[in-house]
Amino acid sequence: EAALERLRDGDRLAVIMRIELDCKYEEIREALGKPSVAAAQMAVSRALVRLAEEMSRGRA
């Protein structure tokens, strides 16, 4: 949870919407103001990478 809080707002929202709320990428696209579903998918993917990095920093 601490790692999630360290993410930028948009990254945090992307992760929460996709993982916790199981939102569709179209919903995420709208919430994040992305131009396409593909852009929303990429945003979620990048946010998950950042979350993993933050989680590994927390363990070090």
**pLDDT score of 1:** 79
Residue linked to tokens 């579903």: 37
Residue 60 CA to residue 40 CA, distance in Å, equals 30
Residue linked to tokens 């990254």: 11
Q: What confidence tier does 20 reach under pLDDT thresholds 50, 70, 90?
A: very high
Average the pLDDT over 6-33 and give the result.
97
Average the pLDDT over 38-55 and give the result.
97
* Entry pTM: 0.91
Residue 27 CA to residue 18 CA, distance in Å, equals 9
Note whether 11 and 26 are within 8 A (CB). Answer: no
* DSSP sequence for 12-39: HHHHIIIIIS---HHHHHHHHT-SSHHH
Q: Which domains does the chain have, with CATH numbers?
A: 2-59 (1.10.10)
pLDDT tens digits for 23-45? 999 999 999 999 999 999 999 99
**pLDDT score of 57:** 86
